[in-house]
Structure 1
Amino acid sequence: MAILYAVVARGTIVLAEFSAVTGNTGAVARRILEKLPSEADSRVCFSQDRYIFHILKSDGLTFLCMANDTFGRRIPFSYLEDIHMRFMKNYGRVAPYAPAYAMNDEFSRVLHQQMEFFSSNPSADTLNRVRGEVGEIRTIMVDNIEKILERGDRIELLVDKTATMQDSAFHFKKQSKRLRRALWMKNAKLLRHATFLQILTPSLLVIVSTAVINLHKSSVVFSRNVEEASRKEFTDLFGVECVAVHDKYLGLPIFVGSSKKLIFGSSKEKLWKKLASLGSNPSYCRSSIFKARTVFEHGSRWQLGNGASISVWRDRWIPRPKTFSVFTPPPHDSFEDLRVNDLMDSPVRIQTVI
């Protein structure tokens, strides 16, 4: 294994580490952490015997690994960048105040797995991987050329086919432009017809429903997609006003807030105007009510209770159609104030004199 040791620390506080060898590697790494300069982001290397310590400082953390001196510097730093990305993704929020070895149980396994991957897998080295892919492409190109030569195809034939394809591409581009213009014109015509139908629909609704729209009190709101020419054509056709937003419907505000005065102010003002048109003389209303008094009195009669408030001679209390009153006059002046209860026996309310 080329990479033998890795540690993640905040200053001198170790958060996670893994070692594939025994010895004083951890002590040497801690001594290096103590002597590191306090720069924000940096990359440095320290040599120790046959090993090199590669250090990456980023986001207030230090990522350190030890590798053989024959392994180079590109792959160890690629390993540190991968560890940095994984650590910040999982512990980026808690890393600034986490205690020592807080992530060691979980992240030491990640250090070990990535250590094995970057030490043994050739695809871990991005530059070598790109070089391998370029070499593979070259091999494929050589194979294709050799196959063409083996079949006896002439290079001139390939050139002719290339020229033919170029002419076909130019012709296709020209035809596609014509088709695009034709489709655009067709779409514009359809859009114009649709706009005309939208303008004509309200008129048809009025004719069919025999309803009448007061255009002087009407307003219209358009969306931002409607062109200015279409807006003017619609407003000129119907003679309505174009507004940004409808603020009232049937005299009431559309948007209801917390202000009662704003909501009902207009309705209250209209009501007071109607009442003011009736005049300031209250006898107008009173005379209208008293107009029906004669009709009410003509058909009314008393319903007997205890009879204490019903006059025998003056009130209508006898169940006789039309008159409901006594025909004969009082025999004496002393009977003038006679009440119906005077004609009854109090305990059982039996009428005794008529």
Structure 2
Amino acid sequence: MYSFIASGADLLVAHGQKENFEDIVKKILGELPKGANKAYVHEANCFYFLGDEGEVVVGCVAAKELRNTTAFAFLKEVKKLYGEEKGEGKKFKKVLKKQMERFSNEKEVNKIVAIQEELEDVKNVMRVNIDKLLERGDKLSTLEDQTASLEMEALGFKKRSQELHRSMWCASLRMKALLAFIILAIVTVFVLVILFSVCGTTMQKCSPPPPAPPLPPQPAPAPSKF
């Protein structure tokens, strides 16, 4: 949508739909820490900045739906080309235009992101919403501190939620075990009641009868006279 090369707070070259982006970009550049990789959300757009130890800052503005990895892959590619060509003015505008067209191709973007292993350090770049900042004229550092604090609180809340979930799971498991024990005890008592009612408390009604006494031995028959 919009991309630029800046030195400090001054725009050296830019390309794309300007709208009111330039004013916002200049305001952010005036407070941007040196060498910072930042992403700021304003309304439906996200402002990306890629700095270094020097004064040069490469940036772009894109829809919020764009992934951080894609935006920073674009910025790194532009920064590399700018360092190689030392392009300025209209000459480098063509480079910006070409790269913006190139990065609108999703397959091409995926290839570039896969190649740029160093992009691991920008996957988790925090997006800071600057809508209120622009309304009140607050400093970026104040808003970033507030955003970082909110993220820490969110992480703490997530951890507490996980601990609560684990505690509730253990309590539920203990309750199920207790319920199973109670059911087993009730079934056992029920079976014993039926058994005692049928066989008696001493189980004599269900015991087998005693064995019959052995018969006395019979005398042998007398031998025949024939």
- Please state which band the TM-score falls in when normalised by the shorter chain: 0.3 to 0.5
Q: Which has the larger radius of gyration?
A: 1
TM-score normalised over the length of structure 2: 0.47
Higher relative contact order (CA 8 A, sep 6+): 2
